[in-house]
């Protein structure tokens, strides 16, 4: 009953809409490649949660310090002796209104991705959602602590500023603020459980904090309890890394065309893009020896993470492409590179003999622009000027010559490369 009264009377109920607006702006006013990929959707929610948490910390401190700020300390001190009960209800109502915006944003994000019909990777969405929830909860708890302990006048500003610093440092050190959720990264359930339990402990312990109107001894006791809980939270975040490289899945999502393409199952929405690029592979105007299989980034098993270092394993592996944020040019470049390697496999690019005409790069850039469907690249580069000149020349060829002329040009490029093989 008293909880419901607090729920309806806490000034934080007015914070619901503004904080949700912040979350929605951050979620949708950005490249929306996350739509249709569950782990990326979760990571997008976590990014929203970081920005919402900046306001959650400030609002929470403002609400906690408000009674004191309004100079009604005597009134606050004269309230019921069931202090923990009253304090608990106040805090629960505050936490409700501070958590609700994140849940609303997460629900909208989930609905957006669910509309695309992809199913693989939903547990990762929940995992990243929990990381976002932890951010908001810890920000709320931090704000409440600052609001209870610090001078009420500066509490909100101090909480907002300090949370900005704590949150960004914690993100750097413990991975608490993920910015993207690619399928080749797996969240560790054990770390999530540990962090959530510690956060819950802090949330419960916070009730022990008393206002500045109470006596010194109970204030110190409360602060000590909360300090221990805060240390537990910090330790839980440092103890286990939450993101770990993921091993290739046993049954990836494979698309058969002129080449076999295999994707992480979470990348199902890229199948039409793969088909478009494969159609362009079929339209290349000369017969090239194609690689039998190309796989998504980190899916070939050619590398392994040992003690935080990426180690190349010996042996033959399928070449990889990286559909960076849904970019057709990135995919085209990956496939073009694999085809170029396959075409010139008998003649590896020599490091010892400098090729003044850059035949390898000419062929690569020509295939790239054809597979990307023409136009200009969506990336910027800092490659050496002579290499960039070769790429530019190949793009010019793809526009100015017809298919038969392009085929003849490509043959001349492949032949020209033979002079610069490492074996020659």
The residue (of 70 and 271) whose beta carbon lies closer to another protein is: 70
Could you tell me the smallest distance in angstroms from the CB atom of residue 381 to another protein?
12
Report in angstroms how near the CB of residue 209 gets to another protein at its nearest.
20
Tell me how far, at minimum, the Cβ of 25 lies from another protein, in Å: 8
C-beta of 34 vs 391, nearer to another protein = 34
- Closest distance to another protein from the beta carbon of 218 (Å): 25
Q: Which is nearer to another protein, 70 or 77 (CB)?
A: 70
Number of residues written out for the chain:
424
Nearer to another protein (CB atom), residue 23 or residue 319: 23
Instruction: Assess contact for 398 and 370: CB atoms under 8 A.
Output: yes
Residues of this chain that bind another protein (CB under 8 A):
18, 22, 26, 29-31, 47, 50-51, 54-55, 58, 62, 66, 69-71, 151, 153-154, 156-158, 160-161, 164-165, 168-169, 171-172, 177, 179-180, 325, 380
Nearer to another protein, 154 or 411 (CB): 154
- CA 62/CA 65 separation, integer angstroms: 5
Nearer to another protein, 43 or 130 (CB): 43
Q: Which is nearer to another protein, 53 or 210 (CB)?
A: 53
DSSP β-ladder status, 309-312 and 303-306: antiparallel
Q: Which is nearer to another protein, 31 or 289 (CB)?
A: 31
Measured from the CB atom, the residue of 47 and 120 that comes closer to another protein is 47
Residue closest to 184 by CA, chosen among 378, 323, 335, 312: 323
Which residue, 49 or 295, has its beta carbon nearer to another protein? 49
Question: CB 36 → another protein: shortest distance, Å?
Answer: 18
Q: In the chain, what is the straight-line distance between the N-terminal and C-terminal CA atoms, in Å?
A: 86
Q: Minimal distance in Å, beta carbon 151 to another protein?
A: 8
Q: Cβ 117 to another protein, closest distance in Å?
A: 26
Beta carbon of residue 176, minimum distance to another protein (angstroms, whole number): 12
Least distance to another protein, CB of residue 164, Å: 6
Cα–Cα separations (whole angstroms), residue 393 to 357, 372, 387, 398, 421: 11, 16, 10, 9, 22
- What's the min distance (Å) between Cβ of 149 and another protein? 14
């Amino acid at each position: 009953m008293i909880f419901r009264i607090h729920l309806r009377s806490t000034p934080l109920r007015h914070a619901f809409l503004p904080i949700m607006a912040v979350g929605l702006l951050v979620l949708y006013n950005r490249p929306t490649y996350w739509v249709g990929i569950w782990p990326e959707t979760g990571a997008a929610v976590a990014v929203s949660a970081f920005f919402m948490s900046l306001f959650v910390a400030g609002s929470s401190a403002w609400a906690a310090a408000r009674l004191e700020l309004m100079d009604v300390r005597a009134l606050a001190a004269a309230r019921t002796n069931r202090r923990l009960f009253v304090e608990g209800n106040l805090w629960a109502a505050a936490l409700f209104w501070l958590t609700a915006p994140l849940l609303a944003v997460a629900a909208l994000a989930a609905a957006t991705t669910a509309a695309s019909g992809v199913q693989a990777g939903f547990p990762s969405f929940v995992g990243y959602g929990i990381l976002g929830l932890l951010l908001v909860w810890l920000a709320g708890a931090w704000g409440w602590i600052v609001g209870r302990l610090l001078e009420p006048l500066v509490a909100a500003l101090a909480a907002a500023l300090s949370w900005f610093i704590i949150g960004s440092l914690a993100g750097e050190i413990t991975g608490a603020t993920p910015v993207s959720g690619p399928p080749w990264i797996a969240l560790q359930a054990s770390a999530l459980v540990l962090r959530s339990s510690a956060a819950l402990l802090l949330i419960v312990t916070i009730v022990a904090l008393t206002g500045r109107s109470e006596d010194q001894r109970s204030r110190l006791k409360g602060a000590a309890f909360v300090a221990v809980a805060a240390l537990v939270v910090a330790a839980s975040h440092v103890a286990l890394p939450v993101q770990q490289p993921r091993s290739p899945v046993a049954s990836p999502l494979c698309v058969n065309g002129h080449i076999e393409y295999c994707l992480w199952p979470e990348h199902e929405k890229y199948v039409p893009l793969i088909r478009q690029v494969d159609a362009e592979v079929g339209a290349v105007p000369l017969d090239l020896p194609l690689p039998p299989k190309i796989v998504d980034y980190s899916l070939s098993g050619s590398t392994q993470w040992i003690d935080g270092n990426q180690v190349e394993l010996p042996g033959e592996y399928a070449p990889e492409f990286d559909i960076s944020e849904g970019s057709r040019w990135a995919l085209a470049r990956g496939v073009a590179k694999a085809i170029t390697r396959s075409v010139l496999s008998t003649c590896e690019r020599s490091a010892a003999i400098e090729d003044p005409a850059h035949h390898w790069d000419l062929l690569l850039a020509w295939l790239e622009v054809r597979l990307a469907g023409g136009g200009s690249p969506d990336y910027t580069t800092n490659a050496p000027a002579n290499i960039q000149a070769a790429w530019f020349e190949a793009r010019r060829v793809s526009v100015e010559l017809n298919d038969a002329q392009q085929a003849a040009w490509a043959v001349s490029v492949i032949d020209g490369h033979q002079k610069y093989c490492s074996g020659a």
